[in-house]
Chain A
Amino acid sequence: MRILGLLAALAALIALPFFTTGYIIYVANLLLTFTVLCLGMHIVIGEAGQFSLAQAAFYGIGIYTSGLAGNAFGWPFPLSILAAGLVAGLVGLGIGMIALRMRDIYLALATFAFGEAMQWVFLNWTSVTGGPNGLRIAPAGLFGFEIVTDKQAYPVVLALTVLMIGLTVVISRSRLGRAFRAVRESEIAALAMGVPVRTTKLAAFALSAFFAGVAGAMFAIFSTFIHPDSLGFQTTILVLTMAVVGGLGSIAGAVGGAVVFGLISELLRQAPSYQEIIYGLILIVFMMFAPRGLFAFAGENLRRLTRA
């Protein structure tokens, strides 16, 4: 039943470009990118319980890495994607080694500070990022073929999303995923069971950065331009809100949250000055009334209703 549902959803997604306009496909590309960003947050916060607030920075590193790999070296896009993930993952590993000495709110603050510092780097390293003028991203290419339109990018973006969802499922079901959850639930018990807590946290942190880097490369495939303004703390908060709305700790929640909340944020673009306030409100309301996310909340209440 569940597999049928997933196949139906996949079929609908594959068929999407045949009966919609370019704008809808652009939004779909964006939502899929946010889905992968959300999955990264799910791994580090939802699974391993480490409050990282640097997702936008790793996302930016991914965008610039793949953008430059294409612009300056003309790399075929699969290679740029891999490079984006690996560079972001390695930077994540380095930052994790320092930041993971701290925990809870201190870890959140340290990663927040790193995110802000990276945005400053994006803004001021003009020779590489174009600084405040932004960076034009050349169309992604592979053996002479170029991805120019959103519709052309869509199959690649969709395939990557499916791949990353699959990877998340594999990790989550593996012993590594179990070690992540053990560390989240009790560090001292995990230690007593022989789980190397620091290494495990570091793995979660680096993996989450890798996911954000791949998301960055996905963005670079369907976008022609990136400006540091969109790589600040708001983006991290947007992704965090998606993950919370969907439900931290579940893969379906991360995906659902990204789609539902991505649509809300796209609708709110008409009223940019209220956007931040509305995000904040949604985040607070969910943390208070549905801490396990929209889908768990709806599920529980449906069950209660049907029993009554």
Chain B
Amino acid sequence: MPEPLLQVDNVTVRFGGLVAVNDFSLSVERGTIHALIGPNGAGKSTTFNCISRFYQPSSGRVRFDGEDITRLPASAMAARGIARSFQNLELFNELTVLENILIGAHVHCGGTLRDWLQAKPPAVMRHIDGVLERTGLASYRDQKARNLDFGHQKLLELARALAIRPRLLLLDEPAAGLRNREIAALDELLTRLVRHDGLTVLIVEHVMQLVMSISDRVTVLNFGTKIAEGTPQEVRDHPAVIEAYLGKEAAAQDPHHA
């Protein structure tokens, strides 16, 4: 079996006296969709921010494609093929859809002075047109990001991340606040990206309908600790998961629960 694309080893994050993530390990295999779920405050986003280098873990190691990235700056991730979206939208609000996506392609625009002066390199524009097409944002390309409706703003976050041409896509609650129809479209898009284009996705999500439908593996966090891992089916029936989500009483009704 090939080496996992992303390997998180024994990561612990402390904020003062609070242990947000405790000795957490995770392997994300290439070409799979891996979901990270858990109740609010379980440490999902903290883990996410460690992987994308926005937080520094107190201990532990993060490896991407064999390279130790634990000490690298957040701005070094895009060039390595790690893209992320944000839980609360982080769009460039006053810029157009196209400009937002062009900034996503920042690391693909070359390094010479001529490259820097050229705002829209043809090769980059071809890729971006493809991204606009598949995310359905083509007809909005000259609109300001802040003028889009919420569903399209979420899509724009995803499109901007795709412009990085990622190998690993980190999605922080991409379905939060979306309508059912939009969730179905997201499901379809993500599935196609992984099955067809060979992308690897790590997703934090509360919308179980999406998690259960698209994930190859699911990891469950509670109070900063991993409590279960497996296929969506295995995780759904896991007593510790039921307890974490529904409380002890509900879990006690489960005959398997010790």
Contact = CB atoms under 8 A, between A and B. Distances in A.
Interface of A: 170, 173-179, 181-182, 185-186, 188-197, 249
Given A176-B116, A185-B95, A193 B54 contact: no
Interface of B: 52, 54, 73-79, 83-84, 86, 90-95, 99, 102-104, 106-107, 109, 115-119, 160, 164
Given A189-B90, A192-B74, 16 more contacts: A174-B118, A181-B92, A182-B92, A182-B106, A185-B94, A186-B93, A189-B103, A192-B78, A192-B86, A193-B78, A193-B104, A193-B106, A194-B77, A194-B107, A194-B164, A249-B94
B103 A193 contact: yes
13 contacts: A178-B103, A182-B92, A186-B91, A188-B74, A190-B103, A191-B54, A192-B86, A193-B160, A193-B164, A194-B77, A194-B79, A195-B106, A249-B94
A275 B78 CA distance: 51
Nearest to A189: B90
A193 B93 CA distance: 15
A191 B77 CA distance: 9
- Quick one: which of A175, A191, A195 has the most chain B CB within 10 A? A175
A177 B93 CA distance: 16
Contacts of A182: 92, 95, 103, 106
Given A174-B116, A175-B109, A175-B115, A188 B103 contact: no
Contacts of A189: 86, 90-92, 103, 160
- Quick one: which of B76, B92, B93, B109 has the most chain A CB within 10 A? B92
B117 A194 contact: no
Contacts of A190: 103
A49 B135 CA distance: 30
A173 to B, nearest CB: 5
Contacts of B90: 186, 188-189, 192
A181 B94 CA distance: 9
B41 to A, nearest CB: 21
B83 A192 contact: yes
A238 to B, nearest CB: 26
B86 A188 contact: yes
A177 B73 CA distance: 22
A142 to B, nearest CB: 29
A71 B148 CA distance: 58
A45 to B, nearest CB: 14
A177 B76 CA distance: 20
Nearest to B82: A192
A30 B99 CA distance: 36
Contacts of A191: 54, 73-75
A190 B116 CA distance: 16
Nearest to A174: B117
A253 to B, nearest CB: 14
Contacts of A197: 75
A104 to B, nearest CB: 17
B106 A179 contact: yes
Contacts of B107: 193-194
A182 B102 CA distance: 10
A190 B86 CA distance: 12
Contacts of A174: 116-119
Contacts of A196: 75
